[in-house]
Structure 1
Amino acid sequence: LVQLMIMPDILLVANYQTMSRLGAVDTLVGMGLPYFASAFAIFLLRQTFMGIPRELDEAARVEGASTLQILWRVYVPLARPVYTAFALVSVSFHWNNFLWPLIVTNSVQARPLTVGLQVFSSVESGVEWSTICAATLMTSGPLLLAFLIFQRQFVQSFMRAGIK
Structure 2
Amino acid sequence: MMKKISYGLMYILAAVWLIPLVWTVWTAFRPKRLALSSSISIDFTLSNFTHVWNSAPFGTYYMNTLLIVAGVFTVQFLTVSMAAFAFARVEFWGKSAIFLLFLAQIMIPADILIFPNYTVLRDLSLLDTKLGIMIPYFASAFGVFLLRQMFKTIPFELDEAARMEGCSLWQILWRIYMPLARPAYVSFGLVSVSYHWNNFLWPLIITNSVENRPLTVGLAIFAQSFETGAQWSEVTAATMLVILPLLLGFMVFQRQFMNSFIHSGIK
Could you tell me the TM-score, scaled by structure 1's length?
Answer: 0.78
- The partner residue of 1:92 within 194, 198, 218 is 194
Q: Which moved more, 1:41-50 or 1:31-40?
A: 31-40
1:113, distance to aligned residue in structure 2 (A): 1.2
Cα pair 1:120 1:131 within 8 Å, conserved = no
CA contact (8 A) 2:146 2:264 kept: no
Runs (4 or more) in structure 1 with deviation over 6 Å come to: none
CA distance in 1, matches of 2:191, 2:206: 23
Match of 1:44 among 134, 146, 155: 146
What is the aligned-residue RMSD (CA, Å)?
A: 2.6
Higher RCO structure (Cα 8 Å, ≥6 apart): 2
Q: Tell me the alpha carbon deviations over residues 24-58 of structure 1, each in whole angstroms, 9 at most, x when there is no partner.
A: 32222221221221111110110111111222112
Amino acid paired to 2:206: V
Question: What do the CA deviations read for 1:10-34 (whole angstroms, capped 9, x no partner)?
Answer: 6112111222334432222221221
In 1, the alpha carbon distance for the partners of 2:180 and 2:125 equals 36
2:177 corresponds to 1:75: yes
Equivalent of residue 106 in structure 1, options 197, 201, 208: 208
**Which residue pairs with 1:4 in the alignment?**
none
For residues 149 and 23 of structure 1, do their structure 2 counterparts lie closer, same or farther at Cα, with a shift above 3 Å needed?
farther
Question: Which one of 101, 121, 127 corresponds to residue 19 of structure 1?
Answer: 121
**Any stretches of 5+ residues in structure 1 without a counterpart?**
1-6
The count of aligned residue pairs is 156
Answering whether residue 235 of structure 2 is matched by residue 132 of structure 1, we say: yes
Please give the secondary structure, in 2, of the residue aligned with 1:26: coil
Q: What amino acid is the match of 2:136?
A: P
Does the CA contact (< 8 Å) of 1:120 and 1:128 recur in 2?
A: no
Highest Rg: 1 or 2?
2
Partners of 2:110 and 2:159 in 1: how far apart?
Answer: 42
Query: Partners of 2:192 and 2:111 in 1: how far apart?
Result: 22
